[in-house]
Structure 1
C-alpha cells in the first residue's frame, strides 16, 4: 500500500541516481545515502526512483524492486516515493506497477514504450491501451512522461487529452516536449481542466524559463545534485521574485550546460561524476552501454561546480 495516500505530484521532485559497484552490481549503501541527500532537502516534495537517472533501462525487474524497497526503507516515511514504469510491453508495465504499489510507492512515472517509436503517434489507441492496462493493475496516481514529438514517442496534444479523460488516475505529466509553444499550451490547458493535470517540467537545460510559464512543479535528474537550488528557484518563481530567481539561475546555468551537453545520453553519467567531486558518492560507475566520461570532461564539471558555488562536503564555506 502507498505510504502517502492521496499524494498529488507537484513541487520539486528530484530523480535520483543509482550507485553501482565496480563489478556493476548495485551499491545499496551508497544508493541509500544518495536517497537521503536528495529526499531530506528542505522543500523537496517527493523523490523518483527507477527512472532514466537510475539507469532503469539496464535494471531487471528484481533489481527495480530492490531499489524501490531499499529507497522506501531509507526515506519512505519522510517523503513520497515515485517509481518509474519502464517497459516496452504493456503486460510487463502492469506487472511493474502492481509491484510498485505492493512495495509502498505513492505514485508511478510511466515512460512511453519504445515499441511505439515507429508510428505509434498515428495510433493513439496504443497509448490508451498501455495506460489503461497499467491503471487496471493499480489505483496509484500516474505521471505521464511526455517525450519530444520528434523522438517518435511523444503523444499529440489531442492524445494526451484523451488519456486524461480515459484514465482518471493520471495526475500529472512530466513534460519534456522540448517545444516552448507546446509546453506553454500544456501548462495553460492541462492545469485548467475540470480535473486539473499538473505539468511538471523536466526542461532542466532551461529550467527558469520553463517554470515562469506556470508549471506546478519540476521532475529533474539534475535534482540529484542541486535539489536545494531547484527548491530555491521554484520558490522564487512562485513568489514572483524575478531578481532572486535570476540570481539562483545564474548558479544553475553552468551546471545545466555541463550536464546537458552533447551527447545528451551522458547527462546522468556526468551527474555521478559531480557527486564524486562533491564527496557525496565514492565512485562513478555506469552500466554498459553507458561508459565513463573522459578526465577532461570531469574537469569541466568541476569548473561548473565552482562557478555554481557548490563546495565539496567538509570543505570550508566560501567567503561572502
Structure 2
C-alpha cells in the first residue's frame, strides 16, 4: 500500500522572506524543479531542513497545501511534524488531514526528558488513530533516540506506523533495523554520509538533506543502483560525500539554501535565530559543488583556490 514511498525524497527548505512570511512563488518553483527537472520520487516538507520546528500549525498546512497542489499527485508528499506533545502533533496532523498527504513524518519529542518505551509507543499510536494518517518515525533526536528493538516493537504494535527515517551516522543501527523489520515497513535513510551503503543494506530510499542540496546527483546514484551499476553509484558517492562534509554544520538548512543559490534555485533565508551561511563556510561548499560537476560555471571554478 505504501510502496510508492521510496527512492529519492528531498526534504524541502521552507523559503522564508525577510519579513518572516513564506514565499509561495519560490516554494512552487522549487517543487516544479524537483519533480520535472531532478525527477525525484517524492517530496517531504516541514522537516528539519524545512525548519519545521519553527512553523505554526497554520504554516504547516500552508506549506503542505502549496506543495500538494503543485505536485498534483505526481509523487507522494510527506508532511513533517516536530513538536513536543502528543496533542500538538495531532493538531498539526489534523490540519493537513484533508490534503493529499501520503504520510506524516514525526519525530519523538525533543525536550530533554525521555518518555519510557510504553509511553513512546502510545504516543505514536494516538497520533495514527486521531489523525487517521500513516506515520513515518523520524529517528533523529539524540536524547529520545529509538533503538531498532523499540522501533520494531512500535511498527508491530501500531498499525499506522508504516516506516522509519533513520538518521544520525550509525549505519549498524540502520542495518539492524532493516534486518529486524524486513518488509513490514519502509526504512528510509537519512545517513547522509553513507547513502550508497544504506541502499545496499536494504533502505528503500532516502529523505536526507543532501538530496535537496544536489537532487540530480542523488537521483542518478539511485538509478545507477537500480540498474545494478555499483561502480557508477560508488563514483557518485565520492562526489556526494565531500558535499555533505562541506554543508554539515549547526546551520545546515542555511547551507542547503546556499547550495540551491549556487545552482540558481531560490530558497529564501533561514528563520531567526538561524544564521545564514558564513563567508568561511561558502568556500568549501562552492569547491565541493564545483568538483562534483554540479555548477559547470567557469566563474565559480575561477574563484577556487
TM-score normalised per structure 1: 0.87
Of 279, 285, 296, which residue of structure 2 is paired with 1:301?
285
1:49 and 2:45 matched: yes
1:52-111 alpha-carbon deviations (Å, 9 max, x no partner)? 111111111111111111111211332111101221010111121122221221211111
- Rounded to whole Å, the distance in 2 between the matches of 1:243 and 1:221 is 24
Alignment check: 8 A CA contact 2:135 2:161 kept: yes
Tell whether the 8 Å contact from 1:174 to 1:200 is kept in structure 2 after alignment: yes
Q: Which residue is 2:219 aligned to?
A: 231
Aligned equivalents of 1:305, 1:238: Cα separation in 2: 24
> 3-state SS of the aligned residue for 2:201?
coil
Classify 1:131/1:231 alpha carbon distance in 2 versus 1 (closer, same or farther; 3 Å). Answer: same
Counterparts of 1:239-318 in structure 2, within 5 Å, are 239-260=227-248, 264-281=249-266, 284-311=268-295
Query: Is the CA contact (8 Å cut-off) linking 2:57 and 2:91 kept in structure 1?
Result: no
Equivalent residue for 2:12? Answer: 16
Q: Which runs of 5+ in 1 are unaligned?
A: 316-320
Match of 2:105 in 1: 109
1:12/1:46 contact within 8 Å kept: yes
Gaps of 5+ in 2: 300-305
Which 4+ runs in 1 deviate beyond 4 A?
A: 5-8
Give the drift of 1:19. 1.0
CA positional deviation for 1:257: 1.2
Query: 147, 157, 163: which one pairs with 2:140?
Result: 147
Pairwise CA RMSD of aligned residues? 2.2
Please tell me whether residue 65 in structure 1 is matched to residue 61 in structure 2: yes
Give the deviation of 1:212 after TM superposition.
2.1
Query: In the TM superposition, what are the counterparts of 1:67-146 in structure 2 within 5 Å?
Result: 67-115=63-111, 117-120=112-115, 123-146=116-139
Task: Report the TM-score when normalising by structure 2.
Answer: 0.91
